[in-house]
Amino acid sequence: VEGASVFVLRLGHRPGRDRRVTTHVGLVARAFGAKGMFLTVEDKSVVESLRDVVERWGGEFSVRVASDWRGLLRRWKGVVVHLTMYGEPLDERLEELRRARGEVLVIVGAEKVPQWVFRRADYNISVGSQPHSEVAALAVFLDRFFCGEELRRDFKGRMRIVPSSRGKKVVTE
């Protein structure tokens, strides 16, 4: 799992309305160990703010637009995991998912997710069977998937936080 490549597909982004949440999906994806994110709709402000974070804070994280997201899903060689409150409990499938080979694509939605996605996904997984948020679902999924190791990664960024009990310490190279 340490070296597993996970990518996130953000479905159904509505420019304007979902800007902040989609940006947070990207920030969480990066900070919690994913290698990149696909947007289905071009939204320059989201792409730019995420690339800006990568430029300053480091890490390898790609942000790409996949307008043909159905094609992306059809061609995806690895495992496709759709996070949905209607799915199977994460705990029941976690070990199996961790053993999966190839690149893992994790789908999170915004509004209603098309039925086709439920059928195409290799796994429909819930993080608790209650409605909450794509940001929370993604964070918990990635943290469980990487067993918390992702929080100790060195992003080798131009900017780096020196953890402290009080105040803000940031080193800039």
Return the residue matching tokens 């997710």: 113
Q: Residues interacting with ligand SAM, by CB under 6 A?
A: 83-85, 108-110, 112-113, 126-128, 130-134, 137
54 or 113, CB closer to ligand SAM? Answer: 113
Q: Taking the complex as a whole, how short is the minimal distance between the CB of residue 168 and ligand SAM, in angstroms?
A: 31
Q: Which residue, 10 or 30, has its beta carbon nearer to ligand SAM? A: 10
| Minimum CB distance to ligand SAM smaller for 71 or for 128 | 128
Closest approach of ligand SAM to the CB of residue 124, in Å? 9
Q: Which is nearer to ligand SAM, 63 or 108 (CB)?
A: 108
Given a contact cutoff of 8 angstroms between Cβ atoms, the answer to whether 60 and 154 are in contact is no
Gyration radius of the chain over CA positions = 16
Residue 141 beta carbon to ligand SAM: minimum distance, rounded to whole angstroms: 8
